[in-house]
A and B are shown apart, each in its own frame.
Chain A
Amino acid sequence: MSNGRQIGEVILDLQNISLRFGGVKALTDISFDVREHEIRAIIGPNGAGKSSMLNVINGVYHPQEGTIVFRGQKRHDMNTHEAAEAGFARTFQNIALFKGMSVLDNLMTGRNLKMKSNFLLQALYWGPAQREELEHRRKVEEIIDFLEIEHIRKTPVGRLPYGLQKRVELGRALASEPNILLLDEPMAGMNVEEKQDMCRFVLDVNDQFGTTIVLIEHDMGVVMDISDRVVVLDYGKKIGDGTPDEVKNNPDVIAAYLGTAH
């Protein structure tokens, strides 16, 4: 797919985004960009508007003001389906998997977008549909191998520990072979070992497939470790943007996280 960590041109440019729900201003005049193949983190205290930002990117919310430029073209208000077709995939803060279905089936749903044969042929598992399904299964097996979840292939997702469910969710997002992967707190609620594993997988995805990654994360250690650039939000406003080191020393960011002396 790509030769990995060669950070490229700006792929996604968000210009002066504002998002309101009635009188509530979720995002106010936010601008930042994402370069191809980079890991871009969005951080900020609770309620800063991080998840809303992701939802703007993948077409769940349509901002009242501002422009989104994707691959050099101004993007119209697309719906989630169009966003997925454009190569956006995401995971959720609260896991959104099909609990009663096996890991394998959950991953197969991630391939849904790529299935070309019609519903009837698929149901009959006949002709081109069969060939297609085998091809999708092969892709999914590659992801299973990549994420080292062979041992739970047939286990219903609801029975898995939280950390593994998160990994499965990442797998489902990967199944659609995204260009941009949006991760909403991929390490929340994990223990140290699970976090380390997840970090490794995120870095591996970025490295091996060249996938651009936008992630929201609370664990500062993780953010500073794996991201190339960080944008900081607070009360719906951007208060910092830059490399992890720049952000760490930004007085506004320190104030937002630790409070200011009065």
Chain B
Amino acid sequence: MSDDVRLPSLSTFPRLLMHHAQVRPNHPATREKDMGIWQTWTWSQVAEEVRAMASGLAELGFKRGDNLAIIGDNRPRLYWAMCAAQCLGGVPVPLYQDAVAAEMVFVLQDAGIKFAIVEDQEQVDKLLENKAQCPELQHILYDDPRGMRHYNQPFLHGLDEVQEMGRIHNRNHPEFLDGEIEQGGAEDVAVMLYTSGTTGKPKGVCQTHGAFIKAAESGCTFDRLGPDDNILSYLPMAWVGDHLFSFAQATYAGFTINCPESGDTVMTDMREIGPSYYFAPPRVFENLLTQVMIRMEDAGAIKRKLFHYFMGVARRCGAEILDGKPVSGADRLRYALGNLLVYGPLRNVLGMSRIRVAYTAGAAIGPDLFRFYRSIGVNLKQLYGSTETCAAVCLQPDGQIKFDTVGPPAPGVEVKIADSGEVLVRGEVLLKEYYKRPDATAESIDAQGYFHTGDAGFFDEDGHLKIIDRAKDVGKLANGAMFAPNYIENKLKFFSHIKEAVVFGDGKDEVCAFINIDMGAVGNWAERRNIAYSGYTDLAQKAEVYDLIRDCVEKANAELTHDTMLADSQVHRFLILHKELDPDDDELTRTRKVRRGFIAEKYGVLIAALYSGKTSQFIETEVKFEDGRKGKVSADLRILEVKTFPSQAAKKAA
């Protein structure tokens, strides 16, 4: 390309940005809905904003090698801040914006944060609370000035002023920033993402420009993503998935990111934008489906009949049509009619009309859930990866979709299964190191350069990787049969009435489970049956609700019998917890993964009761609110037996 004279190679993100600003200056790069209107910034405007921010940061004293904390919802200026830090050879460190102040201390200290760019007053308050414990923190910059009028600390700066400073600096020293960008190379650390810390303290994963650009490149070529694609950026910026899709791939391919107005408006904003490329963890797809089902139950009889009839058709042949497999003419006709009457409007309501490629990752997705989206014509695929591998280990190619695998290894990535069953990965997308943790780095990358993922899995006959569980979670029942808790929990969670499940059984005779009901779905169910309730705790202990959940668990048990290896893992007894599992109470990680060990310890009484055959158990638990205050909930929990079934495979043998 002739226009790359100024920046000869595109080996870093700032260079990519400047490249787009030259090649497609008027192409939309970032959109944000503000004051009810979508505002657009073109690539040249974004480049200008980033240059102003970078020079402003430099004026304040930000230097090569410094780490920049970024905290807030998905705001354009926070994405630009990442690139601004990279321009100066600094490293952006996005933090989870919903973490309480105390949770941020560790990362702020560990990363030696001197500069932070945050969204608003709320985040500023959290940092001020931590300031005493983080003496290195020198400057806090905020995006939204609302409510900041009475803050007069000299180390607080509005981003507007900092950018203005930067613009003046750039006028006086026009060569400065290009010189800084010039100094950056592919081997420099581009971003530090902290692992959610399912076990122990979070670790800072250092990823280089080279690794993330490689990951972005392989994803973009794989799915033929180009500048005309659109993505909705609504997932936490601290999550590797959002960083890959909304930052790395967008900056690589030059497509447009769209920032929603607020967390509550994502559905509406998605419908307005109609993204062509979409990424969500399974729980988002699950929530969407639950909402659809709730609204269908409230719909009129004709609509409901129509919906269920055509959903039956879609279940039978929808996914096959999407995959281009042979389907009978009559079914094709029915599907076409269904597309006109049901699937099309449904996709439109979900904002998925224009989706070309949608991905899910982060946790296993229920096969029925996965099939639902594919059958209504949404090209939903799975990918596999982690923070340490830029979320780019395996990708499902179009037309080769299987519900229970994550696809073959991505181009340029080597995957090997260890003797223990653990998945090992080698390739350019691997982390450079864990920040200041050579011990942890040495532990997870072996002498041959393989990264130990900690996931247990195997390759199927087509060379697709199948992940069953975390390697350390896979255990054995007392009779020696395999026990994969995550697998069972996922089966339970697919029922729209069950929001979260935690199963126990390692080293025990039988499997027992804690259940969290889905407040929306069960609440609606109860209302239609005139069951009065005052809140979650009350609703959860209703006899009718227990019966409802027992039916679900029984169905899951019946399904488990199809798999010889897991037939012994059927759930024998369960109880419904009196409170929802919550990251604020450390029961879930910030990415909403169950912390089984912590829960087992916290609710030891309940587990003992489950295995002692009691029919009820009293429990009192402390809960933390988002502002850090504490309260208590207590309840008498009922325990119910569930029917189990003989193994299908055993029956066949008899």
A145 within 8 A of B: yes
Q: What is the size category of the interface that chain B forms with chain A?
A: 10 to 19
A142 within 8 A of B: yes
The answer for the CA separation of A144 and B37 in the assembled complex, in Å, is: 12
B33-61 Cβ-contact flags toward A at 8 Å (1 or 0): 00111000000000000000000000000
Choose one: B35, B147, B268; the contact of A145 (CB below 8 Å): B35
Interfacial residues of chain B within 105-153, with CB under 8 A of chain A in the complex:
146-147, 149
A-B pair count, CB < 8 Å, reads 28
Interfacial residues of chain B within 1-59, with CB under 8 A of chain A in the complex:
35-37
Please, which residue of chain A has its CB at the minimum distance from the CB of B627?
A: A196
B253-265 Cβ-contact flags toward A at 8 Å (1 or 0): 0000000011011
A252 within 8 A of B: no
A156 within 8 A of B: no
* A153→B36 contact, CB < 8 A: yes
The answer to whether A150 and B149 touch (CB under 8 A), given A138-B35, A142-B35, A144-B36, is no
Choose one: A4, A142, A148; the contact of B262 (CB below 8 Å): A148
Please, which residue of chain A has its CB at the minimum distance from the CB of B35?
A: A141
* B149→A4 contact, CB < 8 A: yes
Please, which residue of chain B has its CB at the minimum distance from the CB of A137?
A: B36
A204 within 8 A of B: yes
* B36→A141 contact, CB < 8 A: yes
A151 within 8 A of B: yes
* A151→B262 contact, CB < 8 A: yes
Q: Please name all residues of chain A whose beta carbon is closer than 8 Å to the beta carbon of B261 when the two chains form the complex.
A: 150-151
The answer for the CA separation of A208 and B268 in the assembled complex, in Å, is: 29
A167: shortest Cβ distance to chain B, in Å?
13
A124-147 Cβ-contact flags toward B at 8 Å (1 or 0): 000000000000011001101110
The answer for the CA separation of A138 and B34 in the assembled complex, in Å, is: 11
* B35→A151 contact, CB < 8 A: no
B343: shortest Cβ distance to chain A, in Å?
25
The answer to whether A150 and B147 touch (CB under 8 A), given A138-B35, A141-B36, is no
The answer for the CA separation of A145 and B204 in the assembled complex, in Å, is: 35
A139: shortest Cβ distance to chain B, in Å?
10
Please, which residue of chain B has its CB at the minimum distance from the CB of A104?
A: B36
Q: Please name all residues of chain B whose beta carbon is closer than 8 Å to the beta carbon of A208 when the two chains form the complex.
A: 147, 149
Q: Please name all residues of chain B whose beta carbon is closer than 8 Å to the beta carbon of A154 when the two chains form the complex.
A: 268
The answer for the CA separation of A137 and B37 in the assembled complex, in Å, is: 11
Which of A4, A145, A148, A154 has its CB near the most chain B CB atoms (within 10 A)? A145
Q: Please name all residues of chain B whose beta carbon is closer than 8 Å to the beta carbon of A144 when the two chains form the complex.
A: 35-36
The answer to whether A151 and B149 touch (CB under 8 A), given A141-B36, A144-B36, A145-B35, is no
* B36→A151 contact, CB < 8 A: no
Q: Please name all residues of chain B whose beta carbon is closer than 8 Å to the beta carbon of A4 when the two chains form the complex.
A: 149
Interfacial residues of chain B within 81-109, with CB under 8 A of chain A in the complex:
none
B367: shortest Cβ distance to chain A, in Å?
32
Interfacial residues of chain A within 134-190, with CB under 8 A of chain B in the complex:
137-138, 141-142, 144-146, 148, 150-151, 153-154
* A151→B265 contact, CB < 8 A: yes
The answer to whether A151 and B147 touch (CB under 8 A), given A138-B35, A141-B35, A145-B35, is no
Q: Please name all residues of chain A whose beta carbon is closer than 8 Å to the beta carbon of B149 when the two chains form the complex.
A: 4, 207-208
Interfacial residues of chain B within 568-608, with CB under 8 A of chain A in the complex:
none
B267: shortest Cβ distance to chain A, in Å?
9
Q: Please name all residues of chain B whose beta carbon is closer than 8 Å to the beta carbon of A137 when the two chains form the complex.
A: 36
The answer to whether A204 and B35 touch (CB under 8 A), given A150-B261, A151-B264, is no
Please, which residue of chain B has its CB at the minimum distance from the CB of A138?
A: B35
B258: shortest Cβ distance to chain A, in Å?
15
The answer for the CA separation of A144 and B33 in the assembled complex, in Å, is: 13
The answer for the CA separation of A241 and B124 in the assembled complex, in Å, is: 38
The answer for the CA separation of A204 and B37 in the assembled complex, in Å, is: 24
The answer for the CA separation of A199 and B248 in the assembled complex, in Å, is: 42
A202-223 Cβ-contact flags toward B at 8 Å (1 or 0): 0010011000000000000000
B363: shortest Cβ distance to chain A, in Å?
26
Interfacial residues of chain B within 141-187, with CB under 8 A of chain A in the complex:
146-147, 149
The answer for the CA separation of A248 and B640 in the assembled complex, in Å, is: 53
The answer for the CA separation of A150 and B36 in the assembled complex, in Å, is: 8
B447: shortest Cβ distance to chain A, in Å?
53
Q: Please name all residues of chain A whose beta carbon is closer than 8 Å to the beta carbon of B264 when the two chains form the complex.
A: 150-151
Interfacial residues of chain B within 213-270, with CB under 8 A of chain A in the complex:
261-262, 264-265, 268
The answer for the CA separation of A116 and B336 in the assembled complex, in Å, is: 53
Residues of B within 8 A of A (CB): 35-37, 146-147, 149, 261-262, 264-265, 268
Can you list 26 A-B contacts with CB-CB less than 8 angstroms, sorted by A residue number? A4-B149, A137-B36, A138-B35, A141-B35, A141-B36, A141-B37, A142-B35, A144-B35, A144-B36, A145-B35, A146-B146, A148-B262, A150-B36, A150-B261, A150-B262, A150-B264, A150-B265, A151-B261, A151-B262, A151-B264, A151-B265, A153-B36, A154-B268, A204-B147, A207-B149, A208-B147
Across the A-B interface, give the 10 residue pairs with the lowest CB-CB distance, nearest first: A151-B264, A141-B35, A151-B265, A141-B36, A150-B261, A150-B262, A150-B265, A145-B35, A151-B262, A153-B36
Given contacts A151-B261, A151-B262, A151-B265, 6 further A-B contacts (CB under 8 A): A141-B35, A141-B36, A145-B35, A148-B262, A153-B36, A208-B147
